[in-house]
Structure 1
Amino acid sequence: MDVDGICGPQTWGQLVEAGHRLGSRLLYLQAPELRGDDVAELQRLLTTLGFPLGHIDGIHGDETAESLVDFQLNAGIVPDGVCGPVTIEFLQRVAKRFGEPGDITRLQERQRFSVPSHRLTGYKIFLAECGGLDAIIASLRRNLTDAGAETLTAHHPDWSSHARQANHFGADFCVGVEVRDGASSICHFLGDHFESPAGKQLGVAISDDLQELFPGITSTGMRLPLLRETQMPALLCRLNDVNSLVRAHQRMATIITKALRDFAQSGLD
């Protein structure tokens, strides 16, 4: 999270989520989706046992619900999609034989991008900004379209709304851009049990090439709504110099497009 000393909605939400422990409540698919450390622990156990569900984000969505039912079927438990005492006991007992899910999630993401391509043809890329950066997003869209990608752009003040749109679009990558005070950074998702390997690799590549435009820019793992709530590798480019951004947005678009094209060609390191 951003360190600002203010207990705002995001900080309060994280405090509430941290109060949930696996077994303290029944977990099942509902609207709005359940969130908490107990959901993240359930996802960690399912991933450890080889039941894929995307990244471990602490949100009990469709993929988590499907993986839970799949586990219950394989374990001979009533496949009701409800994680209660019986399911938890089975999960914890079987998972003791395995290690952490890091290698499994990396393998899943490697498999997702296993077909190399010199262009971005066939890739769907979602571009987002919260207002005032239409020209920057338009420049990035043109570059990505020229490289063969199918793009969708969105302009909305709520990052969670962007995440829902990206998921509905079925994007392969999501890139957000915002101007803010503080150090510039290219952010990827980092949670308690998961760090997006594709997001991290792309973030490092982009931040390295943006040093000439934004000196000191870093690649940073964060738990921001756009990064956490999207179902694909996502980046949030947080830049602190609007003048440099306006002057060099075409150069920045070229750098981001190159990083995505190189990733499509070579996959995960």
Structure 2
Amino acid sequence: MLRGDDVAELQQRLAALGFDPGRVDGIFGPTTAQAVAEFQENVGLPPDGMVGSTTLVELARVTPRHPELSLVSVVRDRERLLRGPRTLLRRRIALAEPGGLDALAAAVRRRLARRGALVVPILHPDGSVQAAMANRAEVDVFLGLRLEPTAAHCTCAYYAGYRYVSPGGQRLAEMVARAIDETLELVEATAVVGMSVPVLRETQMPAVRCELGPADLLVARLAEVAEALAGALEAWAAAPV
């Protein structure tokens, strides 16, 4: 697939004009190609989904209906989330852990299974591979866990880039961070940040990556942290945006 800032600019332009390219991530995939074809059809061009010189001219010529550009992809993401089930029953959840937190991941899986979720474990250190595995499994939501043994606080990251913010990912990151803070009672609150690292940019569903520490406290409160993470996912399913 084609990737880069020029693809992201194309996605932003299409989204501002009301054509949904999917997540604005700089990756030219099938959803973006479909949005290009829909745009071409609307302006009287052959809908081949390819961005040639004529299509570029039309993209520059057509102006959005509103002076304030709003990305239709964000609106559509929110609508899809609101149409989803309000429980974890039969929801597919990717739980990724590259090593070091296998006991915690196993405890989270058990608690999610009790709530009726279908957990897809992903054990690989590379973020792009994790994203590809989650995409192939067609999961509803992705939660990645990373151990930061000496960290004094935790971090929950969601996808944000190219003027796009994942509404479901941001909401889940905030809920997970709140659950962690209530459980670990660290001096510093869990940071909630938007990032464009591969595992967050390349996943096609709401995704959060949590960096957890310190290690000794996680071990001492493993059961409580596992219950907090499962509870946060359950609360997110009930109110995803």
Deviation of 1:116 (Å): 6.3
In the alignment of these two chains, the number of paired residues is 235
Kept in 1, the 8 Å contact 2:19–2:39? The answer is yes
Partner of 2:177: 207
Deviation of 1:133 (Å): 1.9
Indicate how the Cα distance of structure 1 residues 95 and 164 shifts in structure 2: closer, same or farther if over 3 A, else same: farther
Kept in 2, the 8 Å contact 1:130–1:159? The answer is no
Give aligned-pair identity as a percent.
Answer: 37
Query: Secondary structure of 2:27's match?
Result: coil
Which is strand-richer, 1 or 2? 2
Partner of 2:30: 62
Query: Secondary structure of 1:210's match?
Result: helix
- Measure the CA separation in 2 of the matches of 1:161 and 1:155: 10
Kept in 2, the 8 Å contact 1:45–1:95? The answer is no
Which amino acid counterpart does residue 106 of structure 2 have in structure 1?
Answer: A
Partner of 1:76: 44
- Measure the CA separation in 1 of the matches of 2:93 and 2:39: 32
Task: Map Cα deviations across residues 74-115 of structure 1 (whole Å, 9 max, x no partner).
Answer: 22112222212211221222234343234x333212211224
Partner of 2:101: 133
Where does structure 1 lack aligned partners over 5 or more consecutive residues? 1-32
2:226 corresponds to 1:248: no
Deviation of 1:146 (Å): 1.1
Identify the structure with bigger relative contact order (alpha carbons < 8 Å, sequence gap 6+).
2
Kept in 1, the 8 Å contact 2:142–2:205? The answer is yes
- Measure the CA separation in 1 of the matches of 2:222 and 2:133: 24
Where does structure 2 lack aligned partners over 5 or more consecutive residues? none
Deviation of 1:120 (Å): 0.6
Counterpart of 1:158 (choices 126, 129, 132) is 126
Indicate how the Cα distance of structure 1 residues 249 and 73 shifts in structure 2: closer, same or farther if over 3 A, else same: farther
More displaced, 166-175 or 60-69? 60-69
Task: Map Cα deviations across residues 140-173 of structure 1 (whole Å, 9 max, x no partner).
Answer: 1111111111110011111110100000111110
Kept in 1, the 8 Å contact 2:88–2:237? The answer is yes
- Measure the CA separation in 1 of the matches of 2:118 and 2:155: 26
Partner of 1:109: 77
Partner of 1:238: 211
Which 4+ residue blocks in structure 1 deviate beyond 6 angstroms? none
Task: Map Cα deviations across residues 187-233 of structure 1 (whole Å, 9 max, x no partner).
Answer: 00010210111111111122122124144211111111110000000
Kept in 2, the 8 Å contact 1:44–1:56? The answer is yes
Indicate how the Cα distance of structure 1 residues 59 and 211 shifts in structure 2: closer, same or farther if over 3 A, else same: same
Query: Secondary structure of 1:95's match?
Result: coil
Counterpart of 1:190 (choices 139, 160, 163) is 160
- Measure the CA separation in 1 of the matches of 2:13 and 2:73: 12
Counterpart of 2:193 (choices 208, 212, 220) is 220
- Measure the CA separation in 2 of the matches of 1:267 and 1:130: 26
Indicate how the Cα distance of structure 1 residues 54 and 249 shifts in structure 2: closer, same or farther if over 3 A, else same: farther
TM-score after normalising by structure 2: 0.90
Which amino acid counterpart does residue 51 of structure 2 have in structure 1?
Answer: C
- Measure the CA separation in 2 of the matches of 1:228 and 1:116: 22
CA RMSD of the aligned region, Å? 1.8
Which amino acid counterpart does residue 159 of structure 2 have in structure 1?
Answer: F
- Measure the CA separation in 2 of the matches of 1:89 and 1:256: 49
- Measure the CA separation in 2 of the matches of 1:206 and 1:122: 21
TM-score after normalising by structure 1: 0.81
